[in-house]
Amino acid sequence: MSSHQLKLLRRTPVMVLILGAGLLLPAHEAAAATSYEAENATVSQGQVDADHTGFTGTGFVNYGNVAGSYVEFTVDAAAAGTSNLTFRYANGSTADRPMDIRVNGALAADDLSFPVTGAWTTWRTVSRAVPLRAGSNTIRATAVGSAGGPNLDNLLVGSASTSTKPAEVNGQLKVCGVHLCNQYGNPVQLRGMSTHGLQWYYQCLPDAALDALAYDWNADVMRISMYIQEDGYETDPRGFTDKVHHLIDEATARGMYAIVDWHMLDPGDPYYNLERAKTFFSEIAQQHNGNTNLLYEIANEPSDVSWSRIKSYAEDLIPVIRQYDPETPIIVGTRAWSSLGVSDGADETEIVNNPVNASNIMYTFHFYAASHGDEYLNTLTRAADELPIFVTEFGTQEYTGDGGNDFTMSQRYLDLMASKKISWVSWNYSDDFRSGAVFKAGTCPDGTYTGTGSLKPAGAWVRDRIRTPDDFPTG
Ligand code: GCU
């Protein structure tokens, strides 16, 4: 967020913070997975086919092209509790084929998305955590639209969940050339959301909101935006650090990556907060050094400082972090509100010619599509071939995080980032009144976080683009 937005934010009423009870949920220990073939389940208004390759078992169910067609599985659970359902399907049509998922007759997922897979022979998975009772349970997947359901291959119940959680599939990330690579050494693109400032919008991050982000939005990554000034960290280092610990643990429990965002903004010289950053990141790195799902963003948006000063700040701070955490990728802010210098009339070459002297690091780029047109897009296009870039903030509106959306320009950025596997995070997952806050004002903390009913236009747009299937090569 730029300094202009800061001025607006100063008028944001400080919300009453609702502190959690401090109870952290351990990562769900799932039982062994069991696979149930759709062709062995009860089928209503559909048929078993075997004419598209790639299925498991002896075939798959071709739903009738009619709303209400369903497949019902009977599955066993050793104990009552939350299990992950993972549906393997193909959708070679050109539109989503949503289905309602009922567990023992109760609606467990409304309009669960089964996005297009590109071909009837391309199979992907969609997962959802649901409550099961001990013993026998029915799982019914019912087509919602008149096109019916997708072709359904099988249902995996149990620890298959782990194989669909982004942070568990990909494991420890590492910068490889200009990309971010997973534990198999393959480049991946992560997509997700940034929180708003924890000092203002912590109440938008209850369990239900985090469940929605992980399982309904299918976000790979959550950025934890901790301001330093602006009534943030400097007013209560212990309290804010504890909030970050909590959110890291919540992201981990849900199989998401977490970006720990040192959201320095004003003053724009990162040196102003160097000692605070050393204290904060030392504690984070020590407490979470067993985590494989973190990224550290050490300077959100420097401003009115040269690149060489930002570089020197990074080189002072990084060795402190590396004492405790040799592996977590570190993302370094760039000149002029992380515009790679463009907002100061510079460009990426000052970094290419004088990179940070450290390994396993990336550089930040932020854009707001209604303000930042071709000059910025072209800079990102060039820079991504020379430097590892992580877009840790973008909006479909103006740099204030408000105003009209430019979805056309936004889509151009997203297409570029998909083609170059540039990871991105959108600003922001809150109910602030501005157009870039995804939830309608007043939604937090007790509103409905799943689906699109509580979303502003920018929220519905970005949710659609986060929940399309990931491509995480494990081979
Ligand atoms: C095609 C395809 C079927 C699929 C159907 C559909 O006919 O071959 O396997 O089920 O489209 O639209 O549902």
**Is 89 within 8 Å of 54 (Cβ atoms)?**
no
**Among protein residues, the one whose CA lies closest to atom 8 of ligand 1:** 120
Tell me, what's the pLDDT at 1? 57
Mean pLDDT estimate for the chain: 91
User: Cβ atoms within 10 A of the Cβ of 178, count?
Assistant: 17
Report percent pLDDT > 70 for the chain: 92
Q: Rounded CA gap, 355 and 87, in Å?
A: 45
Tell me, what's the pLDDT at 32? 55
Check pLDDT > 90 for residue 401. yes
How does DSSP assign 227-242, residue by residue?
ESSTTSGGG-HHHHHH
**Centroid of ligand 1 to alpha carbon of 206 (angstroms):** 40
Q: Is the CB–ligand 1 distance for residue 89 below 6 Å?
A: no
**Is 90 within 8 Å of 142 (Cβ atoms)?**
no
Q: Is the CB–ligand 1 distance for residue 65 below 6 Å?
A: yes
296-322 confidence digits (pLDDT tens): 999 999 999 999 999 999 999 999 999
Q: Is the CB–ligand 1 distance for residue 62 below 6 Å?
A: yes
3-62 confidence digits (pLDDT tens): 444 433 433 333 333 323 222 222 333 335 688 999 999 999 999 999 999 888 899 999
Q: Is the CB–ligand 1 distance for residue 121 below 6 Å?
A: no
Q: Rounded CA gap, 105 and 125, in Å?
A: 23
User: Which residues lie below 8 Å from residue 354, measured CB to CB, with a gap of 6+?
Assistant: 307, 308, 311
**Is 441 within 8 Å of 193 (Cβ atoms)?**
no
Q: SS3 of 309, please? A: helix
Tell me, what's the pLDDT at 123? 79
Q: Rounded CA gap, 35 and 154, in Å?
A: 7
The secondary element (H helix, E strand) that includes residue 126 is strand 124-132
- Choose the catalytic residue: 37, 230, 250, 301: 301
How does DSSP assign 232-287, residue by residue?
SGGG-HHHHHHHHHHHHHHHHHTT-EEEEEEE--SS--GGGGHHHHHHHHHHHHHH
Q: Is the CB–ligand 1 distance for residue 183 below 6 Å?
A: no
430-457 confidence digits (pLDDT tens): 999 999 999 999 999 999 999 999 999 9
* Pocket perturbation via mutation, ligand 1, pick of 65, 117, 120, 123 by most ligand atoms within 8 A of CB: 120
Residue range 167-181: mean pLDDT, rounded: 96
Q: Rounded CA gap, 161 and 84, in Å?
A: 5
Q: Is 386 a catalytic residue?
A: no
Q: Is 230 a catalytic residue?
A: no
Tokens of 345: 């009339």
Residue range 400-418: mean pLDDT, rounded: 97
Q: SS3 of 368, please? A: strand
Residue range 212-224: mean pLDDT, rounded: 95
Residue range 259-283: mean pLDDT, rounded: 98
Of 467, 441, 466, the closest CA to residue 454 belongs to 441
51-104 confidence digits (pLDDT tens): 999 888 899 999 999 999 999 999 998 888 878 888 989 999 999 999 999 999
